[in-house]
Each structure stands twice: as C-alpha cells, then as structure tokens.
C-alpha cells in the first residue's frame, strides 16, 4: 500500500525525521489559510506517483491568494492518471544541496538495503552507479551506528550534517521495521543552511503485513472491479483488451496473457483465481469478468489443489442462473478432469486439453477470425 | 540420485490437523513420502491416519529423526513456526504459505542461514525428487521419474511445464518451486549448482517470469559454472510495466526485470528461451542431442 506524501511526512515527524512546516488542504480556502501562516510556500498535488513537478503538479508562491489559486487549479484535476483530492502546502526550502536516502527490500540478497546518494533530486534514476551508496543490513543486528557512519563517509559529508543524516537514517530504519514498510524513500533530502530536511516522502507498506497495522490510514489505489476481486480473494488487474481471462496461479495467468498476445489478441485483464478456489469464488470471478463486457472469455485451469469439477460447476451455475452472453473457451486439465469435462459437455462446452489451442480459439472469436 | 530430499528423508508436517495439512499429508504418503510426524499445538497425542501428532517440534524431535518439515500454517503465524523448526535443527524447511510479511521472510532467512537450514519458499508448491519423496502440494500424477531437473518461481506454471515434458516422454529428477515472493530461500543459482552435481540430472529447465533480477543473476552463474544443458521458459512477455501480476516479484519497475532483458542475459549464457510453454520439450530435445 502506497501512502500519500503528506501521510509519509506525518510518519517521518513521528520518527524524528525533520520535515518542512506545513499542512494538507482539500479546498482552496484551506490552502490559503495554511499559506498565510507560513509565507513563502510550495503547493504540491497529492497523488500516488512521482514526477509531479514535470507534470505541473507543483507550484511556488509567497501570496496566500495565489496559493489558493494554485490549489483550486490542482484540486480535482487529473495528473499522471490520478485525480488530485488534496494538496500539501508547506514552507518553501532554501536548497543548498539535494541528497537521496532510502531503505528497501533487496529480494536477491534477502536483506534490507540502504540506498543513498549525494546526487538526489529529480533524475535519481539516471545517477550513475558509482554515485549510489548501497549497503545491505543484517536484520539480526539491525542498523548499528557503524553502518550510519559508513554511509555518511561514502556520501562524503562530515560534521553536523553527517550527524543529522545519521540520525535521519536511524529514524528511517526504525520506521521501516516497525511499520513493515517495503520502501521508505526521501528524495530529495535537502541541506538547507545548517539543517537537513526531508522535502519529500515516499512510503510503501507491505500489503501482507497490514493485518498488524490497523492504525495506519487506508489508501485505495485499486479500481472498483479490482477492489471487488480483492475482497473475493482474487488477484485481479485491469488491462485494456477485449478477451477476459481467468486462470489459477499467477505464473500460468501471465503465460495465458502471453499466448493471447502471441496469437494476435488483447487480454482485458489478469485474473488469478488462486489455488483451491471452490465453486462459489469461481462463479463470482466469472461474474466479475462478465461485468466488463468482453468479446470472449478464456478460462485456463491446470488443477492441482483446484478441482476441475468445481470450476465446471461454477461455470454451469453462472450460465444457468445469470446467463453468459459471450463465447467462453475453456482449457481444463488436472484433478477431477473427467468429471469437469462431463459437466461442461452437459452445458454445451467441449474443453481443450492444451492452453495454446484454447488461447488461439479465444483470439479467433474476439477478432472475428481476422488473425 | 536426487537433490535436497530422497527416499530416506524423514518429513514432519507442521499444521497437520488442519484441512490442507491433513489432505496433503495423505497425498504425500500416497506418493511415497516418509511422513514420520505432525505438529499441531494442543493436539499432541492424537494421530492422522496413524501419523503421530505432537504439540511442539521439539517433542516430535525427541521421538523421530526429522530431516525436513513442511508448513501448513496461516501467514501471520508462519514466522514462529519456521523459527521453531529451525531451532529444532531441521535442515530442509518448505514454506507453502503465501502472504507472509516480507520483514518476517527476511528474519526467517537470516535465522535459517545462521543454522544451516535450507528454506524452500515461501509461497511455493514445494519440491519433489520424482518417485522418491514429495514435500509439497503438487498433483502426484505428473511427477514421474526421469532425468530432467526443473526449477521454477511459479507453481501452476511449473505443473504446466512438467505436464508438457511428461507428455513428450520426459520424466523429472528433482523439481523445485522457489516461490513467488520477493524474499525466498533457495534461488536459481543454488539449485542449478546442486543439479549440476547431481548424477541423476541430464538437463535443466528453468521456469522464470518477469520482475526482479533472479534470471539475470542465474544467467551470469550458468556462464561460468554449469556444463549441463539449461533451457529456460519465461512468463510475462505481454505484461505492462508498473502492474504487479499476482506474484510479489512479478512487476516491471523502473525498466528493470523486463522480458527482453532476461532473454538477452540467458541467451548470452547459451540458454535458449521458450516464449510459450509448449515449446519447452522441443528445446529440451534439441539440447540433449548436442
């Protein structure tokens, strides 16, 4: 779960990481009020995406009236595919230097990793590897002071600035662990006179750990259909094609999408019904696919824990009770395959043995045989 | 020959009295796995089809030699169960559960490493030395003995590939499911190294997918260390960047982990890459002919 910048900064403050003075506003009037208290401000659109500056989502002013105008222009607008609901109004910093500081999970090393650079700012992705400090952490000892000393040494900073960056790094690690974060990122970490301040906050919490963080705000990034799928325990991503897809397992679902593309079709979605989905969840998944009005539906099941007869029964249930107005192509092998095929046959469907045959058929239907 | 597990491996099931635990205990026994004990806190003294159940792993270890354990434990409690198995000296730990918090996974890997325990998963179907020992949830009928080693990041897709191999007349030596999570125990490199040493394996099939850098790292390793033929299959060619396709790792972020990048790295290491599952047996046949 990604958090908005203003939420990230509230958490930073709680962990002793200095952030600019400011507040969040949902209306132009609120923005003007905050700006009036601060003076020279930056108004920042709150969306779950970076590169806002380049997209016009950030503005500077010293006049509260102008802050209101900036806010009203941003609020409700579309920015990088997101609607802006809130703006963050905060003190404009005098920037002497911009650093980059982050903690994330390095899957290959199976460890947390510190990423730091003395070349922070807008184009951090283009910073050459030699200017990026990488240090892996051993979770059994956590972030010890010697690690922080080494990070600041490699960043080439000394004295009080080094001391402040070390303190920020410890706060960041504590937050990373305590909140089950996948990513905590400060870019830029600004040196302003003799102060070090987090000018931005990017925080992603591990979805799998949300059960033990009930106190965190809930940020919904999914579409309505994706939300519904999540409630059903399905993994669902909307795509922009016209062949609806359901399979059991993330890998095989991806492989199914690849096959559709290979034969010249376009998938409407990624839907992993998971392992062992029974009749009811499978029927619900099918209903979800129907709600998107696809030209064809492709169901690809390799039953291990998932039972083929459950899938066939779910299909029969939806067909008889709700109706399926679009052509359905099914590939069905594995546990209880014969039973499943028989049920489908009774419902007028001959299941395929191989997934590439089924994918080719679905594409033929959706494209009207043009491919 | 086989790697990690064989016909002598004594297996413990943690969470044996739950629905999944009991069902798969029976499936594994049917396959020929030596299930010697189960653990379910509060159920000590009972049995499942004659398999004795203990309250703790330590209690089971007092009565049995335990070589491996498999976890049928809900994600929020998996860390504790994994620590318990490692603390009891179990050397192969198979972690089926999905949705284990990534910080828990990192803690488990660190503890396992310091105790010399091999962890398979989490979010895996397990591993099987075909015809000898199955520790996992894969359908029994597709895993027939042969000399192709298979290592996969994804479950059902691995069945698909093994199913294609079986249909083409190729059995398997050992099949390892690495798991679909961002932080997992065994990786491609470690399994490839074992398969290279295994006299029962003639060729290796790697089943990968977009996201992360595991395939690229494997490619670099294959170049210098693997003499046996390796064939790869990769899923996710059509996936759009920035969309996470189910697995925690299966996402193209910041232009990294792309299909094209992985194919390039593997080809450079002499590994042919199948884009579609049914192409795998043809590539295996071609590689074995050389």
Angle between helices A28-38 and A64-74 (to 10 degrees): 140
The confidence score (pLDDT) of residue A129 equals 86
**Where among A190, A212, A234 does a domain terminate?**
A212
% of chain A residues with pLDDT over 70:
99
The label of the residue with tokens 């802006």 reads A84
Is residue B131 a part of any domain in this protein? Answer: no
Is residue A177 a part of any domain in this protein? Answer: yes
Residue B189 has pLDDT above 60, yes or no: yes
Is residue A259 a part of any domain in this protein? Answer: yes
Residue A114 has pLDDT above 70, yes or no: yes
Is residue A12 a part of any domain in this protein? Answer: no
Catalytic residue chosen out of the listed positions A5, A30, A98, A185: A185
Local confidence band at B93 (pLDDT 50, 70, 90 cut-offs): very high
The confidence score (pLDDT) of residue A163 equals 97
Q: Are B245 and A237 in contact, with CB atoms under 8 Å apart?
A: yes
Give the pLDDT confidence of A170-229 residue by residue, as tens digits: 999 999 999 999 999 999 999 999 999 999 999 999 999 999 999 999 888 777 777 888
Give the pLDDT confidence of B22-56 residue by residue, as tens digits: 999 999 999 999 999 999 999 999 999 999 999 99
Q: What is the CATH number of the domain that holds B69?
A: 3.40.50.720
Kindly report the backbone phi and psi dihedral angles of residue A270, in degrees, each rounded to the nearest multiple of 5, phi listed first. Answer: -115, 120
% of chain B residues with pLDDT over 70:
98
Residue-number span of the structural domain to which B232 is assigned: 138-289
Total domain count for chain A? Answer: 3
Contacts with A177 from chain B: Cβ below 8 Å? 103
- Give the closest of B76, B105, B276 to A258, CB-based: B276
Local confidence band at B258 (pLDDT 50, 70, 90 cut-offs): very high
Mean of the per-residue pLDDT values of chain A: 93
One domain for residues A176 and A256: no
Residue B194 has pLDDT above 60, yes or no: yes
One domain for residues B76 and B176: no
> Hey, which residues of B are catalytic here?
247
- Report the C-alpha gap between A130 and A39 in whole angstroms: 39
Q: What is the CATH number of the domain that holds A303?
A: 3.40.50.261
One domain for residues B102 and B16: yes
Rounded mean pLDDT, B150-178? 95
Rounded mean pLDDT, B254-281? 92
Contacts with B155 from chain A: Cβ below 8 Å? 249, 251, 275, 304
Rounded mean pLDDT, B115-138? 96
Give the pLDDT confidence of A45-90 residue by residue, as tens digits: 999 887 788 888 999 999 999 999 999 999 999 888 788 999 999 9
One domain for residues A201 and A253: no
Contacts with A253 from chain B: Cβ below 8 Å? 245-246
The confidence score (pLDDT) of residue A300 equals 96
Measure Cα distances from B7 to A16, A17, B144 in Å: 56, 56, 14
Where are the extended beta strands (E) located within A111-205? Answer: 111-117, 132-136, 181-192, 195-198, 202-205
Q: What was the ipTM of the complex prediction?
A: 0.90
Q: Going by DSSP bridges, is the β-strand pair B10-14/B34-39 parallel, antiparallel, or unpaired?
A: parallel
The confidence score (pLDDT) of residue B248 equals 67
Is residue B196 a part of any domain in this protein? Answer: yes
One domain for residues B164 and B206: yes
CA neighbor of B32 nearest in space, from B118, B138, B140:
B140
Query: Which residues are paired to A79 by β-bridges?
Result: A82
**Cα-based torsion angle of the residue sequence B245, B248, B249, B255 in order, rounded to the nearest 10 degrees:** 60
Measure Cα distances from B213 to A106, A167, B51, B259 in Å: 10, 32, 41, 11
The label of the residue with tokens 């609607």 reads A83
Contacts with A257 from chain B: Cβ below 8 Å? 236, 238-239
Local confidence band at A6 (pLDDT 50, 70, 90 cut-offs): very high
The confidence score (pLDDT) of residue A280 equals 84
Q: What is the CATH number of the domain that holds A130?
A: 3.30.470.20
Residue-number span of the structural domain to which A343 is assigned: 224-366
Is residue A217 a part of any domain in this protein? Answer: no
Rounded mean pLDDT, B239-243? 82
State whether residue A223 is helix, strand or coil: coil
Q: Minimal Cα–Cα distance from A39 to chain B, Å?
A: 37
Q: What is the CATH number of the domain that holds B177?
A: 3.40.50.261
One domain for residues B164 and B78: no
Instruction: Pick A53 or A275 by higher pLDDT.
Output: A53
* Residues A261, B101: C-beta atoms closer than 8 Å: no
String of DSSP letters for A21-86 = SEEEESSHHHHHHHHHHHSSEEEEE--S-S-TTTTT-EEEES-HHHHHHHHHHHTT-EETTEE---
The confidence score (pLDDT) of residue A370 equals 62
One domain for residues B165 and B253: yes
Is residue A1 a part of any domain in this protein? Answer: no
The confidence score (pLDDT) of residue B136 equals 96
Rounded mean pLDDT, A157-169? 97
- Give the closest of A138, A258, A259 to B110, CB-based: A138
Contacts of A215 (CB under 8 A, 6+ apart): none
Is residue A2 a part of any domain in this protein? Answer: no
Local confidence band at A289 (pLDDT 50, 70, 90 cut-offs): very high
One domain for residues A298 and A243: yes
Measure Cα distances from B245 to A196, A232, A294, B157 in Å: 38, 17, 20, 14
One domain for residues A208 and A243: no
Is residue B168 a part of any domain in this protein? Answer: yes
Total domain count for chain B? Answer: 2
The confidence score (pLDDT) of residue B255 equals 66
What angle is formed at CA A47 by the lines to CA A41 and CA A48, rounded to 5 degrees? 130
One domain for residues B17 and B96: yes
Residue B5 has pLDDT above 90, yes or no: yes
One domain for residues B34 and B111: yes
Q: Give the max Cα distance, chain B.
A: 57
**Where among B59, B93, B120 does a domain terminate?**
B120
One domain for residues B23 and B80: yes
Locate the chain B residue with the closest alpha carbon to A354.
B278
* Residues B137, A304: C-beta atoms closer than 8 Å: yes
- Report the C-alpha gap between A16 and A167 in whole angstroms: 8
One domain for residues A334 and A230: yes
The confidence score (pLDDT) of residue A371 equals 54
CA neighbor of B180 nearest in space, from B259, B95, B258:
B95
CA neighbor of B250 nearest in space, from B197, B226, B214:
B214
* Residues B183, A105: C-beta atoms closer than 8 Å: yes
- Report the C-alpha gap between A269 and B252 in whole angstroms: 17
Locate the chain B residue with the closest alpha carbon to A258.
B238
Kindly report the backbone phi and psi dihedral angles of residue B233, in degrees, each rounded to the nearest multiple of 5, phi listed first. Answer: -125, 135
- Report the C-alpha gap between A322 and A287 in whole angstroms: 8
Rounded mean pLDDT, A267-277? 85
Rounded mean pLDDT, A331-336? 89
One domain for residues A125 and A196: yes
Locate the chain B residue with the closest alpha carbon to A270.
B245
Rounded mean pLDDT, B145-152? 97
Is residue B233 a part of any domain in this protein? Answer: yes
One domain for residues A327 and A243: yes
- Report the C-alpha gap between A119 and A98 in whole angstroms: 6
* Residues B101, A206: C-beta atoms closer than 8 Å: yes
State whether residue A297 is helix, strand or coil: strand
Q: Which two tokens stand for residue A88?
A: 């963050």
The confidence score (pLDDT) of residue B240 equals 84
Kindly report the backbone phi and psi dihedral angles of residue A32, in degrees, each rounded to the nearest multiple of 5, phi listed first. Answer: -65, -40
One domain for residues A86 and A141: no
One domain for residues B168 and B100: no
Residue A170 CB-half CA count within 13 A: 13
Measure Cα distances from A161 to A9, A15, A122, A144, A149 in Å: 20, 18, 22, 19, 12
The confidence score (pLDDT) of residue A334 equals 85
Q: What is the CATH number of the domain that holds A86?
A: 3.30.1490.20
The confidence score (pLDDT) of residue A229 equals 81
One domain for residues A194 and A239: no
Q: Are B95 and B121 in contact, with CB atoms under 8 Å apart?
A: yes
**Where among A91, A110, A128 does a domain terminate?**
A91
Q: Minimal Cα–Cα distance from A206 to chain B, Å?
A: 7
- Report the C-alpha gap between A252 and A275 in whole angstroms: 11
Chain CA centroid to CA A200, Å: 18
Contacts of A123 (CB under 8 A, 6+ apart): none
**Where among A63, A91, A119 does a domain terminate?**
A91
Local confidence band at A282 (pLDDT 50, 70, 90 cut-offs): confident
The confidence score (pLDDT) of residue B1 equals 67
Chain CA centroid to CA B269, Å: 23
- Report the C-alpha gap between A132 and B205 in whole angstroms: 36
**Where among B94, B120, B146 does a domain terminate?**
B120
- Report the C-alpha gap between A28 and B218 in whole angstroms: 54
One domain for residues A87 and A101: no
The confidence score (pLDDT) of residue A368 equals 87
Is residue A354 a part of any domain in this protein? Answer: yes
% of chain B residues with pLDDT over 90:
85
Mean of the per-residue pLDDT values of chain B: 94
Is residue A343 a part of any domain in this protein? Answer: yes
Sign of the dihedral through C-alpha B261, B267, B268, B270: positive
**Where among B70, B86, B120 does a domain terminate?**
B120
One domain for residues A256 and A333: yes
One domain for residues A45 and A107: no
Residue B27, preceding peptide bond in cis (omega within 30° of 0): no
């Amino acid at each position: 779960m990604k958090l908005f910048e203003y939420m990230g900064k509230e958490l930073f403050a709680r962990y002793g990481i200095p952030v600019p003075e400011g507040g969040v506003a949902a209306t132009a009037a609120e923005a003007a009020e905050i700006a009036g208290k601060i003076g020279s401000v930056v108004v920042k659109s709150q969306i779950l995406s970076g590169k806002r500056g380049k997209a016009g989502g950030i503005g500077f002013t010293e006049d509260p009236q102008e802050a209101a105008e900036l806010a009203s222009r941003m609020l409700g607008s579309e920015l990088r595919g997101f609607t802006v609901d809130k703006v963050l109004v905060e003190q404009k910093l005098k920037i002497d230097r911009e650093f980059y500081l982050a903690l994330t999970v390095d899957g290959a090393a199976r460890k947390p990793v510190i990423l730091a650079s003395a070349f922070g700012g807008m184009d951090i992705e283009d910073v050459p590897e030699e200017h990026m400090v990488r240090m892996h952490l051993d979770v059994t000892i956590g972030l010890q002071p010697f690690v922080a000393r080494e990070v600041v040494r490699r960043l080439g900073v000394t004295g009080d600035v080094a001391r402040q960056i070390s303190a920020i790094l410890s706060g960041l690690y504590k937050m990373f662990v305590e909140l089950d974060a996948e990513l905590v990122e400060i870019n830029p970490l600004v040196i302003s006179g003799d102060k070090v301040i987090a000018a931005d906050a990017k925080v992603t919490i591990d979805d799998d750990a949300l059960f033990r963080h009930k106190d965190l705000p809930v940020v919904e990034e999914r579409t309505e259909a994706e939300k519904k799928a999540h409630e059903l325990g399905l993994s669902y991503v909307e795509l922009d094609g016209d062949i609806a897809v359901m399979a059991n397992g993330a890998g095989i679902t991806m492989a199914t999408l690849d096959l559709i593309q290979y034969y010249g079709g376009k998938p409407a979605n990624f839907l992993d019904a998971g392992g062992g989905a029974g009749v009811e969840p499978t029927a619900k998944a099918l209903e979800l696919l129907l709600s998107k009005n696809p030209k064809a539906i492709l169901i690809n099941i390799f039953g291990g824990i998932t039972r083929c007869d459950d899938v066939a029964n779910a299909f029969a249930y939806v067909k008889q009770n709700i109706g399926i107005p679009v052509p359905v192509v099914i590939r069905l092998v594995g546990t209880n395959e014969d039973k499943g095929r028989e049920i489908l046959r009774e419902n007028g469907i001959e299941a395929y043995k191989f997934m590439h045959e089924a994918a080719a058929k679905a594409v033929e239907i959706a494209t009207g045989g043009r491919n | 020959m086989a790697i990690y597990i064989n016909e002598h491996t004594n297996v413990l099931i943690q969470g044996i009295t739950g629905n999944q635990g009991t069902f798969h205990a029976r499936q594994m026994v049917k396959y020929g796995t030596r299930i010697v004990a189960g653990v379910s806190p509060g159920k000590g003294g009972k049995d499942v089809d004659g398999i004795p159940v203990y309250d703790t792993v330590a209690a089971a270890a007092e009565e049995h030699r335990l070589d491996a354990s498999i976890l049928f434990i809900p994600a929020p409690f998996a860390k504790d169960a994994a620590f318990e198995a490692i603390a009891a000296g179990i050397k192969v730990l198979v972690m089926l559960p999905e949705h284990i918090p990534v910080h828990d996974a990192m803690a488990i890997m660190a503890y396992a490493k310091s105790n010399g325990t091999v962890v398979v998963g989490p979010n895996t179907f397990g591993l099987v030395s075909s015809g000898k020992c199955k520790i996992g949830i894969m359908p029994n009928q597709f895993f027939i003995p042969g000399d192709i080693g298979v290592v996969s990041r994804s479950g059902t897709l691995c069945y698909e590939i093994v199913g294609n191999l079986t249909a083409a007349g190729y059995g398997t030596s050992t099949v390892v499911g690495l798991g679909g999570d961002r932080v997992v125990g065994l990786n491609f490199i470690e399994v490839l190294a074992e398969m290279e040493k295994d006299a029962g394996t003639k060729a290796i099939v790697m089943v990968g997918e977009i996201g992360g850098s595991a395939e690229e790292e494997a490619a670099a390793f294959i170049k210098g260390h693997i003499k046996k033929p390796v064939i790869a299959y990769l899923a996710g060619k059509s996936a759009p960047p920035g969309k996470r396709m189910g697995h925690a790792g299966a996402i193209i972020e910041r232009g990294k982990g792309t299909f094209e990048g992985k194919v390039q790295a593997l080809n450079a290491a002499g590994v042919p890459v199948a884009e579609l599952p049914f192409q795998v047996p043809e590539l295996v046949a071609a590689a074995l002919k050389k």
